[in-house]
Structure 1
Amino acid sequence: MDKFFISLDSAPERSETFQRLNAHVPDILPFKGLDASTVDLPAMQQAGLVSKNCTFSPADLASALNHVSLWGTVMRSGTSAYVFDDRAVLCRNFSEVSQDIIEKLPTNWDIVCWNWAGDNVMQYELLPGVTHATITYFQDSVQKHIKDFNTTGIASLPFRLVQMFGFGNYAISPSGAAKLIKSCLPLNSEEVLHYCLGGQMLQATDLSILLNRYYMDIAAFITVPPLCLSDLSAPV
């Protein structure tokens, strides 16, 4: 499987840090992403990628379009791929554990996410067909230890994903890429029912929220505990 991380011209220091902290995971290729300042909104609307009612910020819109572009690459190639953002820090044994998890997934898997925004909720199927579970972790504590996470070995299991916040580090299959492109485009700011928040409706202001509309309709999985964490110390 190919491995890509989204590299931005406006943040070369983040790309350098990503490559340094994740040097133990070989063959992760940079994918040159759109910066917020380079998004041509009228052109994207004309191309059918963004709807007129989309209220994503320029940064969130650029981020979403970068993932959509990678989904298109995966769909056309017919080969599954790993995708990372430039803030990811991967655990020491990420290559071995992630490969083992993918090999044990159903053959029709669409996407498996390696982490979520720990200071917000994530809901998954704890017991299939019986009960969901909702969890968070303590982001302040995570950030104190983030630079050492690449030396930490993790034992993790995949569970069916219901909803989560934070999106950017995952493996996606060609079928998953096709389903998400069909579901999410054109990008829009519809209201999304959040079971993980007790039935609240939230307007989709970024891709992470929009995707909560679709995880349960596809073969989406999350790893618990996470196999990577996000370094939030670098400026956006």
Structure 2
Amino acid sequence: MRLLNLDRSSDRLALFRARNPHLAGIERVSAVDGRLADRRRLIEHGIMSPDLNYSDGAVGCAMSHLTQWRDAAQGGEPLTIIEDDAVLCANFEEESARVLAGLPDDWEYVMWGFNFDAPLTFHLGEGLSPCTSAFDQAAMRQDIRNFASRRVSTMAFRLLRGFGTVCYSISPRGAMRLVEFCLPLRPMDTMHPGLAHRIANAGIDNMLARVWPEMAAYVAVPPLALTENDHRVSTIQAAGTPQPPAQKVAFPEPDAFAAVFERIGVTNAVAVGIRSDHYTVLPTAALRRVGWGGFDIAEDASLLARALTERGIEQGFDLLFLGTADTPVPSLCTLLGSFRPRAVVVPADRDEAQRPAPAEAGRRGPPRLSMKQIAAGFGYSTQPCPEADGYLLLLRQGISWEEPAEPGVAVLA
């Protein structure tokens, strides 16, 4: 087993060892530092195409894994590769060996852990069908520290789509196939079941997802390895890429939402509170005090739409609260375009003038639209929320906000 760890990240190595005291005989290998990579040389040697838009961290991640695949192919023996944010179950070595022994001799790749903020697609078996699963990353994170003390019994299914390279085993033949497919690293996009749009190649796992259906690739369900998948502290995914700072968003008093309901003439109080990133915490208990529900879900817009649909949230529900100051534009567009809530309350910090998106790999990003611009595009007016300082109120076209003629009387357009 090989552990990928940057030479400058001794703290992450110490944390890995503290979280995985049961693992013995792991060989630490130096990961490639993408900040030091010579992109011109990589292009000249056919490792990377000139139009590849990888962050420094993504380049380092790709080169780290490519190096291990080369070693597996040349050494003629399977390798198990582990990233340094992994937490492995107590019986990982025993259970992974059992699974590998039960696979056909021509197996090429086995995914022992995957990202929980994206769907996973695998085949249930002969005569059955593919299965696409979604996960609750927040719930997994709450208990990840105890995973190393748990024994897990798993099954291997044919892998079709997924994200993450936290922990996997690869055969020499599988390693050769991945090197042949992935070089040169290049732009591409891949359709994932469960997502409404194609995913652009922003990292090596995006490329792997394209080739897994053509390989003897498998995934362990349930997983034998977990990762918090925290982009704020990742040295592989995020290195060289500015990340949103941790933010504390003050939550309005429940009475503020009750007042919003009253002012727009709402009677049934169908409302939803959503946290759509990992940088803020949405206290759903406060939502429940006024009789409505909160969700802690992934950033992906299609997963957001599915979560609302599965919970019976129909178009035109009364009020939406977004518990983050930096809501991803695709998620917001899904909410405004597909579900058409009557009113939306968002932190005012998100309403900024157009500003360039963070530059990546020395390129200038496109302008980021302000909340007012996004809202106007979907037929919503925008104004300060008079019942909650620091928040904006978006109103769907046809709904007005006027001072009531007398207490408790709302005026609708």
After TM superposition, is the score higher than 0.5? yes
Instruction: Note if contact 2:132-2:193 (Cα within 8 Å) is conserved in structure 1.
Output: no
Which amino acid is the alignment partner of residue 222 of structure 1? Answer: V
**Within 5 A, what are the aligned runs for 1:106-125?**
106-125=104-123
2:213 — aligned with what? 216
Structure 1: where are the runs of 5+ without partners?
A: none
Whole-angstrom distance in 2 between the partners of 1:169 and 1:128? 26
Larger Rg: 2
Which amino acid is the alignment partner of residue 136 of structure 2? Answer: F
1:139 — aligned with what? 137
Q: CA deviation at 1:202?
A: 2.0
Q: CA deviation at 1:35?
A: 1.4
Whole-angstrom distance in 2 between the partners of 1:95 and 1:73? 21
Whole-angstrom distance in 1 between the partners of 2:127 and 2:37? 43
Instruction: Note if contact 1:124-1:160 (Cα within 8 Å) is conserved in structure 2.
Output: yes
Q: CA deviation at 1:122?
A: 0.1
Q: Which is richer in helix?
A: 1
Q: CA deviation at 1:197?
A: 2.5
- Does residue 64 of structure 2 align to residue 69 of structure 1? no
Q: CA RMSD in A?
A: 1.4
**Within 5 A, what are the aligned runs for 1:170-181?**
170-181=168-179
1:88-133: CA deviations, max 9, x gaps?
A: 0000011110000000011000000001111210000013343111
1:201 — aligned with what? 198
Which amino acid is the alignment partner of residue 111 of structure 1? Answer: Y
Whole-angstrom distance in 2 between the partners of 1:53 and 1:125? 34
Whole-angstrom distance in 2 between the partners of 1:187 and 1:203? 13
1:33 — aligned with what? 31
1:155 — aligned with what? 153
1:232 and 1:161, CA in 2 relative to 1: closer, same or farther beyond 3 A? closer
2:227 — aligned with what? 230
Q: CA deviation at 1:48?
A: 1.4
Say which is worse superposed, 93-102 or 3-12, in terms of deviation.
3-12
Q: Aligned residue pairs: how many?
A: 233
Whole-angstrom distance in 1 between the partners of 2:97 and 2:19? 20
Which amino acid is the alignment partner of residue 49 of structure 2? Answer: S
Instruction: Note if contact 1:110-1:175 (Cα within 8 Å) is conserved in structure 2.
Output: yes
TM-score (norm 2): 0.55
Whole-angstrom distance in 2 between the partners of 1:193 and 1:41? 28
* Stretches (4+) displaced over 4 A: none
Q: CA deviation at 1:196?
A: 4.5
Q: CA deviation at 1:195?
A: 3.4
Whole-angstrom distance in 2 between the partners of 1:209 and 1:225? 22
Q: Comparing both chains, which one has the higher relative contact order based on Cα–Cα distances under 8 Å and sequence gaps of 6 or more?
A: 1
Which of 190, 193, 213 in structure 2 is aligned with 1:192? 190
Structure 2: where are the runs of 5+ without partners?
A: 235-413
Instruction: Note if contact 1:8-1:33 (Cα within 8 Å) is conserved in structure 2.
Output: yes
2:126 — aligned with what? 128
Which amino acid is the alignment partner of residue 156 of structure 1? Answer: T
TM-score (norm 1): 0.94
Q: CA deviation at 1:31?
A: 0.8
Whole-angstrom distance in 2 between the partners of 1:22 and 1:121? 26
Instruction: Note if contact 1:143-1:232 (Cα within 8 Å) is conserved in structure 2.
Output: no
Residue aligned with 2:146, SS: helix
- Identity over aligned pairs, percent: 27
1:96 and 1:179, CA in 2 relative to 1: closer, same or farther beyond 3 A? same
Q: CA deviation at 1:142?
A: 1.2
Instruction: Note if contact 2:115-2:229 (Cα within 8 Å) is conserved in structure 1.
Output: no
1:161 and 1:68, CA in 2 relative to 1: closer, same or farther beyond 3 A? same
Which amino acid is the alignment partner of residue 101 of structure 2? Answer: E
Which amino acid is the alignment partner of residue 202 of structure 2? Answer: T
Which amino acid is the alignment partner of residue 149 of structure 1? Answer: F
Which amino acid is the alignment partner of residue 41 of structure 1? Answer: R
Whole-angstrom distance in 2 between the partners of 1:107 and 1:100? 13
